[in-house]
Structure 1
């Protein structure tokens, strides 16, 4: 074997094991510690921590917010991607930049901006108070915050796919007399379906793990406006460490399921 080839193979092995060691230290190690701390006092203690009424309600609220935010951002992401790739209009560049804003903006700033809009002294606060409509410290503000921080993912997955497939088939369908809706339903959506699914998976993961913006606008009322991530902090601050670790473990397992789903959908997209 030539020395140059041997040296190149050695470098590849060093880089591979370095990356693996880094992942073990940063990701697997903390997750293993959470798993161990959750069950160090037995399964019954962990189950009791997860089945308290406040914790169950926190998970229900998290799933409810996710169930509202994901469809909204899916529809917005597809429509926005079609507008960016398939249309020319004034302000197109501004729209393209706006989609990426949640990636650059701190979630805490998002929560504060909702206060400036819907708070008692905000732009819409007076009108909402006159009509007895509760936005802040209630479900609407939590949904708005979650929708904002998870907004880009579907759009950013669909845009490159639309550019890659081009619009020849869509033009052919319109030439043959298909309406815009028929073209969208029979040509465009089937062609971008895996990009949409991949974006939905990423959006779901972001919604489940959101903390900063929701923490600002929720009020953290136990049993009412406390999500799973907020519940982790509340249990830890209350010195219920095992309860905090148990909830964290469930959130970690959900993240692993999301990762598995991403891998499966990516393979299906490659073989489609």
Structure 2
């Protein structure tokens, strides 16, 4: 008893030191830099934001980023849910290798991703680029290339949220639904999807945030043409390099706000669902 009491006493200071270190680390790495972006954005009131929305080129950049992020998120959500079901509910040769390859976009530099897309879809020397351009479809230095680059870098996020939840819920409910006469689509829509709903939502939010903030791959494949293929992140760089820091901070604030607001909404909805007593994974 005495030894356990001494152990608890010795753990006390260590526990608080660890907590202080974690809090300090998060403040210095995340909270403080983000707060500086906010304060610099509103240093002169709403002038910086008004300047952004009054500039047609910046509005075009914001719209392009939004379109690319929405399409990439939709594609990765459909792909992510399908691949998650494939990985969890099926066994096939090369499954581990396939699962490892899905994490490649997170481990490879976005610049490398952009160069790889140029090698495949570029109009000069690309594998498929000349053929596609002869059909009237240009990938690199146009919106499709930006969408491809954005989808590539955010590809695994839905999968890595959904796979653990699918493993946790198992297949008992699916089997029960099939035994009652439900077909595959009815089983997925009424049983599987409600069970993984929050995992899908979190994956969508992370994918959207990652897509909105993509810079490296998009810079390579976009061409950065003012008013055509310049995204919001590229506009941030252009404003900052041209010593328009207020404009850069304002655009960065808008991009960060979308991600923060999405996360807050998700947590609020889930907390409300938990207070109502819904089971885990349901609404």
Give TM-score, length-normalised by structure 2. Answer: 0.89
Offset, 1:6: 4.4
Q: CA deviation at 1:5?
A: 4.3
Q: CA deviation at 1:133?
A: 1.9
Match of 1:84 in 2: 87
Q: Select between 81-90 and 250-259 the one with higher mean Cα deviation.
A: 250-259
Q: Contact between 1:50 and 1:246, CA under 8 Å: does it hold in 2?
A: no
Identify which of 89, 105, 110 aligns with 1:107: 110
Who is 1:167 aligned against? 171
Match of 1:151 in 2: 155
In structure 2, the partner of 1:136 is 140
Q: Which has the higher contact order (CA 8 A, sep 6+)?
A: 1
Distance 2:270 2:9 in 1: 34
Q: Equivalents in 2 of 1:183, 1:256: separation in Å? A: 34
Distance across 1 between alignment mates of 2:127 and 2:204: 32
Equivalent pair of 2:174/2:192 in contact (CA under 8 Å): yes
The Cα of 1:176 is off from its aligned counterpart by: 2.2
Aligned match for 2:62, one of 59, 62, 71:
59
Please give the TM-score of this superposition, normalised by the length of structure 1.
Answer: 0.92
Deviation for aligned residue 1:37 = 2.2
Aligned-residue offset at 1:113: 0.7
Measure, in 1, the Cα distance between the counterparts of 2:42 and 2:195: 46
Q: Which runs of 5+ in 2 are unaligned?
A: none
Kept in 1, the 8 Å contact 2:205–2:259? The answer is no
Q: CA RMSD in A?
A: 2.0
CA distance change for structure 1 residues 157 and 142 in 2, over 3 Å: closer, same or farther? same
Query: What per-residue deviation string (whole Å, max 9, x for no partner) do you get for residues 9-29 of structure 1?
Result: 332222222222222222222
Whether the aligned pair in 1 keeps the contact of 2:129 and 2:138 (CA below 8 Å) is no
The question of whether the paired residues in 2 share the 8 Å contact of 1:146 and 1:210 is answered with yes
**May I ask how many residue pairs the two structures share in their alignment?**
271
Residue matched to 2:190: 186
Q: Which residue of 1 aligns with 2:243?
A: 239
